[in-house]
Amino acid sequence: MFGPILAREWMVSPRRLRFYAQRVVFVLMLFSLVCTAWALMAGIQHVRNLGDFARFGGLVFQLVVPLELIVALFLSAVAAASNVSQEKDRRTLILLLLTRLTSSEIVVGKLMATLIGVANLVLSALPLLLLIAVLGGVSAMQVFAATAIIAVTAAWTGSLANMVAFWREKTFQTLAITLLAIVGWLVLCEAIAAGSIGAVDPSWAELLSPLRALWSVCQPIPSRTWSFLPGGVAGTHSLLGILATLLFSAIAVWRLRVWNPSQQVRLQAPEPDENYAVSTGTGKREVRSWKVRAPRPMWNNPVLWREMRTWAYGRKLLMIRLAYVALFAAAVLGLYWSVSSGVALQRSRLADELIPISARILTPFFVVSFVMINALAVNSITNERDGQALDLLLATQLTPRQFLLGKLLGVLYVTKEMVLLPLALTGYLWWQGGITTENFFFTLGGLLVMDLFSVMLGIHCGMNYSQSRTAIGTSLGTLFFLFLGIVTCMMIMLSFRGSFARQLPPFLAIILGGGTGLFVALGSRNPSPAIALAAFSLPFLTFFAITSFILRGQEMVVFSVIMTAYGFATTAMIVPALSEFDFAMGRARTADEEA
């Protein structure tokens, strides 16, 4: 059933260094969060009895497990999408279809080969979760239930990305559709939980949403949500996730040879043209089987012309834009409800005082926009390399400045909805009186800087990594884990409230680790002092901006720090690319890359 694709990955994966490095780094990251939380708790209060250990165990379990779920969900979706898209970009999927492999062996083999890496991380984190259970406050059944939810979520998101990757031809389309589908499902579950969909019982939200199901498992007192399996919420959610995985895989197996090869790959006879018919010796007019059309006028920058005047990323971008507009409408409705009902201005809890309801609605929408912009930016470079057009571009009279500005402005033009709609949503919040005029302009400036940073990060990773899968994973992973680190720091601050002087020393280890990882991602191939300074200062300045935002009344400080940190990081990546063409062409790969 699984075939030789899984067999090869099963034999080759343990030979790669990153197979062991990934789980070591992942477990160390989770363990560092546990140590940070312990240092904060020990600095705030004295640990005197077993009850204090139990409270700490329950609290840190609620921090670590959601983080593990988000990481597994992201890695599974991106890895499955890029694994199949790489086969299509290199035209090797057609070779697989010509072999004796069945459709199920290709589809299920690709999915299971992708899930090997995710399962490696999930299983490596299980002993750490059991160690937390030893402290008390968490039972072993809760640990196994949470692990099951995480594993099933990784399976159905990977299966969804696998199906979309076999369906769509362009890598960006695959990533964008998968991301919007997952985010749309989570938004739908939140609407069900809020009672906005009257035909569905709000208790279904815990059974359908992986976030709510996991949070229900993490509670000391089990939820009373009904379920039709003995395992409660975890068992029912796992069953639904397994059914979704089987459904997506069955659809991919059924339509594999219909979708592939696509119409863009199949050779078609040229259409006859009556305007170019010629007369033959018998007195009849013969229609030529070729067409000639007038050349289209091109701009001085051909790269920018191609990005803006052609369908370089496929015509299905219209569908992606419509889906994004639907997500924007959902954000507008949520923001309208929070402002009109006064929930956005309530101060009933400390968490609501520190993080307003409007920020909880805007922030996920902004993150989705940045990730989609970054995905298109990195694919704008990898598509040129995989299509073997990059060598031709380097042989022309095109200058590095024309290429970089063409790609930079072209990506911003193609993703103009992802740039303008967040600005419009912020303007709506200002119009409703949710934020002041000063904060409105601060937010606009911060969004524009982050858009430019997202684009340049994708272009930089596309130029520095020869393999498309590595470039896409590094670019999206850097942006995603940067925001994930921000959310984690805010969760720890809210859970262990204390003075900034007590919180700073434990966070220095996380900041140093984040800076090291950022430097490896951005400057491993061509390190420079500017990249090093940007990599190590960006996590610290972001942490400082978070604390300034929580303290309130320091919006100017937050704006200045964000502009300085991300503006300098963007400049550090732009300046070298303006002077010369420096692409990793993959002609001298290491043994690990070849495997």
Per-residue pLDDT, 449: 94
The pTM for the full model equals: 0.85
| 278, β-bridge pairs | 286
Kindly state whether residues 204 and 344 are assigned to the same domain. Answer: no
Last residue of a domain, one of 224, 243, 259: 259
- 165, 251: one domain: yes
Residue 5 sits at φ, ψ, to 5 deg, of -65, -45
Within a domain: 236: yes
The amino acid at residue 46 is H
pLDDT tens readout for residues 545-570? 877 776 667 788 888 988 999 999 99
Instruction: Establish if 269 belongs to a structural domain.
Output: no
Fill in the amino acid letter for 277. A
Question: Considering 259, 291, 307, which residue would you say is the last residue of a domain?
Answer: 259
Same domain flag for 565 and 450: yes
Which residues does 2 contact at the CB level (< 8 Å), separation at least 6?
105, 108, 109, 112
Range of the domain at 479: 315-583
| Whether residue 353 sits in one domain with residue 235 | no
pLDDT value, residue 229 = 60
The verdict on residue 285 lying in a domain is: no
On whether both 561 and 469 belong to a single domain, the answer is: yes
User: pLDDT tens digits, residue range 218-237?
Assistant: 887 766 655 556 667 888 88
Same domain, yes or no, for 251 and 333? no
* Cis amide linkage into residue 297, ω under 30° from 0: no
Which of residues 240, 259, 278 is at a domain's end? 259
Residue 266 lies in a domain: no
**How far is residue 367's CA from residue 356's CA, in Å, rounded to a whole number?**
17
More confident site: 73 or 494:
73
Question: What confidence category does residue 495 fall into, taking pLDDT thresholds of 50, 70 and 90?
Answer: low
Question: Are both 110 and 41 inside the same structural domain?
Answer: yes
The CA distance from 22 to 121, in Å, is 7
Give the distance between the most distant pair of CA atoms in the chain. 107
pLDDT at 446 over 80: yes
For residue range 386-443, list pLDDT tens digits in order: 777 887 887 888 888 888 999 999 999 999 999 999 999 999 888 888 788 888 899 8
Asked whether residue 202 falls in the same domain as residue 340, the answer is no
The answer to whether position 404 is within a domain reads: yes
Residue 291 lies in a domain: no
Residues 172 and 90 in one domain: yes
Shared-domain flag, residues 251 and 343: no
For the stretch 164-210, pLDDT in tens is 999 988 888 898 999 999 999 998 888 888 777 777 888 888 888 99
CA 13, CA 457: separation in Å to the nearest integer? 28
Are residue 353 and residue 250 in the same domain, yes or no?
no
CB 86 within 8 A of CB 165: no
Residue 475 belongs to some domain of the structure = yes
Question: Are residues 327 and 254 located together in one domain of the fold?
Answer: no
Grouping H, G, I as helix, E, B as strand and the rest as coil, residue 267 is: coil
- What are 132-176's pLDDT values in tens digits? 888 888 888 989 999 999 999 999 999 999 999 999 888 888 989
For residue 281, the model assigns a pLDDT of 53
| In-domain check, residue 166 | yes
Tally of structural domains, the chain: 2
